[in-house]
Amino acid sequence: MPALRIEAKRENAEQVMSFVDAQLEAHDCCIRSKTQLDIAVDELFTNIASYAYGGATGEAVIEMEFPDGFAEITFRDWGTPYNPLARPDPDVTLSAEEREIGGLGIYMVKKSMDAVSYRHENGQNVLTIRRKLQDTSRKRK
């Protein structure tokens, strides 16, 4: 399974994206799925880099698997235990000024993926996203 172990710093996001994109291209991921995965990866890695270690620096591991026509990307960190999926979804019917700050990024991740899961095990936050490699939501003519 391809994996990248990297210091969880915002400036490393480009390296994370290069790793993910190389794997997606090697597995013939369509552009729509790749775009949605890229947005999710950027959001999740940035959250780890920004919040997991409370201002200190730690590591993140990004693992990729490709079972049955899907891309599964797992993020691991050893920061403060936090399940972003437990947070209530923002009320997107409200204007940006009326909405509480935060939560929109993970909401977008949940809406754009086929599956998102979280667990805390062996001192690690483990968040996995899953998206079909080929988008079949639109029929081609």
Q: What is the pLDDT of residues 48-105, one digit of tens each?
A: 999 999 989 899 999 999 999 999 999 999 999 999 988 776 556 656 666 566 556 7
The two counts, helices (H) then strands (E), for the chain are: 3, 5
Q: Are 116 and 130 in contact (CB under 8 A)?
A: yes
Residue 35, domain member (yes or no): yes
Number of structural domains the chain divides into: 1
Nearest of 131, 23, 135, 31 to residue 71 by alpha carbon: 131
Residue 28, pLDDT above cutoff 60: yes
CATH (domain of 49) = 3.30.565.10
Q: Which structural domain, as residue segments, surrounds residue 81?
A: 3-132
95 within domain boundaries: yes
Supply the pLDDT for residue 103. Answer: 57
For tokens 């998206």, name the residue: 131
The mean of the pLDDT values for the chain is 89
Residue 33, Cα to own-chain centre: how many angstroms?
13
User: pLDDT at residue 131 above 70?
Assistant: yes
- What pLDDT score does 140 carry? 42
Percent of the chain exceeding pLDDT 70 equals 84
How far is CA 86 from its chain centroid? 16
Whether residue 140 lies inside any domain: the answer is no
Over pLDDT 90: what percentage of the chain? Answer: 74
Does residue 141 form part of some domain?
no
Structural domain includes residue 15 = yes
Say if 72 falls within a structural domain: yes
User: How many Å apart are CA 84 and CA 81, to the nearest integer?
Assistant: 10
